Amino acid sequence: MLDRADAIMSTILPICRKKKGKLWLVKALNFYAAIRAKQSRYSESLEFLTELMEILNLEESEPGAWRVYDMVYRNFGVTYEGLGRTEEALIYFEKAMNVKVDAGIAATWFDMWDIGRMKSIFAFHSRNESELWAAIDTVKNALDLHERDEGSDKVMCAKILHTVGECYVALAMQREAASVDQGEEEEGQLADSPSDDEQGRRMPRKKKKKKRKERVGKGRRRKKEGKTTANSKTDDDDEEDGNNDDDHDDGRYQLPPEKLFRKALEYLQKSHALFKKHKGPYNPLTGKQAESVAQLLLRLKDYSKAKPFLLDALISAGTRQSAWGGGGESGEDEDSSEALRNVQMIVDNILNAHRETEDRDGLSRYFDGLHALVQNAKARGLGTVDPTGYEGLVFKSAMAIIASGTPDSPRQALQLVDNARTGAIGEFQGQMLATLIDSLAALPASQHP
């Protein structure tokens, strides 16, 4: 669909440039910028939007102008977000909100989602946990407002759920890093203490541990002291019944990293289920969400549960038209290289899941998906834009096939490499084939192609 829209706009845009008046050109530039953003070709999207602003002759204060600027500013925000320019993205998302508010229109769930998403990135990089919780509250507010105003749009609901899940992942990673820092600090304090003052070295740690227990066990003590009622809950009760104790200020700062990761998984799986139901199992949105779920399951060492998500992610990547960068057409090498690294990670995660579960035979179910993935990357010119990244994808995909150890795996691996050939990697082909031949030599003769 995106490829078709791209082809149509490449024909329409030159026509609009020649027409008298700028209305149709403004519309064309805005629409084409949105397409480029969906293709992860953000530099081109920014060029279109910049041109649009140069010819847009409309004051924000004019009646109805807020509708135009709301759309254009949001597209700027999405584009800057894709370019990793978070500060500029936040500026434009706030401009999109303010242009409505100035016109007497209330801020929407879309505004809350965009702004909360950007603020969560700032908070994560600055390691500001309180700001990260505030960002989560903002995004959850967006989720509630969306349910109230446009609850029938389940795809957008899935997108907001994904953001909440990613925020919890960021919190868990931040909490892990803080634990490591605290451990190193305490070790440093021990190392600096006098070796003959053993009691003096231990006492501060006991006191510190006691204070930590007092904070974490606050609910337990209240229960022992008889200060709870039959209808009241402690922090420990919340952990057992799975309630959202992270929504309460008393408990959210005491949650361990694993529970935060599990909370993230809950939101990410809900998001994936909605995408799968309303967009299909291999839609690009569903596939990317399957990647997110699989990566988190692997982090939690739930390797077997990750496998079906990895298969869906692979099949989706082999058919999708978006998120490949500019390919050979635009020369957006950085976006294309990032796309290649992302799909290589899918292959790496597949190998990891099956290695950890000692499931070589199960790798055969990925053969078709690996062939399709490499061919999709080749068709988009990535072998020309980033030969090294493309070679890495081809090699890892071939080795994943060989690792299965099935009788047909050597032939399948050589076929994948042969079909992947492009003029840009001719020299590498010899090295790759030599490596594959060495790998095949280690197999029984009965399995040779």
pTM: 0.76
**CB-based contacts of 410, cutoff 8 Å, min separation 6:** 402, 440, 443, 447, 448, 449
**Where residue 217 falls among pLDDT bands split at 50, 70, 90?**
very low
Run of H or E residues at 206: helix 198-216
Q: Dihedral through CA 153, CA 154, CA 160, CA 161, nearest 10? A: 160
What is the rounded CA–CA span in Å between residue 269 and residue 289?
8
CB-count exposure of residue 433 (10 Å: 0-12, 13-18, 19+): middle
Q: In the structure encoding, which two tokens stand for residue 386, read together?
A: 């980033």
pLDDT at 221 over 50: no
Distance CA 148, CA 135 (A): 20
**Closest to 426 in 3D by CA, of 401, 400, 379, 394:** 394
Band of residue 148 on the pLDDT scale cut at 50, 70, 90: very high
pLDDT of 214 higher than 50: no
207 pLDDT tier (thresholds 50, 70, 90): very low
User: Side chain identity at 182, as an amino acid letter?
Assistant: Q
Confidence at residue 209, expressed as pLDDT on a 0 to 100 scale? 42
Cα-based distances in Å from 444 to 258, 396, 407, 449 = 44, 22, 9, 11
* DSSP state at residue 422: -
| pLDDT band of 398, cuts 50, 70, 90 | very high
Question: Would you state the structure tokens that stand for residue 41, as one six-digit string?
Answer: 């070709």
- Greatest alpha-carbon pair distance for the chain in Å reads 89
> DSSP secondary-structure letter at 446?
G
**Mean confidence (pLDDT) of the chain:** 82
Q: Would you place residue 430 in the very low, low, confident or very high pLDDT band (cuts 50, 70, 90)?
A: low
Residue 191 CA to residue 337 CA, distance in Å, equals: 45
The answer to whether 283 and 308 have CB atoms below 8 angstroms apart is no
* 8 Å CB contact between 346 and 291: yes
Q: Is 289 exposed, middle or buried (0-12, 13-18, 19+ CB in 10 A)?
A: buried
Q: What is the pLDDT of residue 344?
A: 95
Please tell me the predicted confidence (pLDDT) of residue 220. 41
Contact 157, 148 (CB under 8 A): no
DSSP 112: H
Mean pLDDT of 422-436: 57
Structure tokens at 7: 């082809």
The pLDDT of residue 325: 62
Helix-strand-coil percent breakdown of the chain, rounded to 5? 80, 0, 20
What letter represents residue 184's amino acid? E
Please give the average per-residue pLDDT across 140-166, as a whole number. 97
**Mean pLDDT of all residues in 377-388:** 87
174-186 mean pLDDT: 72
Write the DSSP assignment of 197-262 as a string of letters.
Answer: -HHHHHHHHHHHHHHHHHHHTHHHHHHHTT---TT---HHHHHHHT--GGGSHHHHTT--HHHHHH
Number of Cα atoms under 13 Å in the Cβ half of residue 411: 8
CA distance 354 to 294: 13
What is the reported pLDDT for 425? 47
* Phi-psi sector, 386: left (phi>0), alpha (psi -120 to 50), beta: beta
**351 burial type by CB count under 10 A (0-12 exposed, 13-18 middle, 19+ buried):** middle
The residue length of the chain stands at: 449
- The stretch 177-198 carries a mean pLDDT of 58
Q: Are 140 and 164 in contact (CB under 8 A)?
A: yes
Cα R_g (the chain), whole angstroms = 27
Residue 130 one-letter amino acid: S
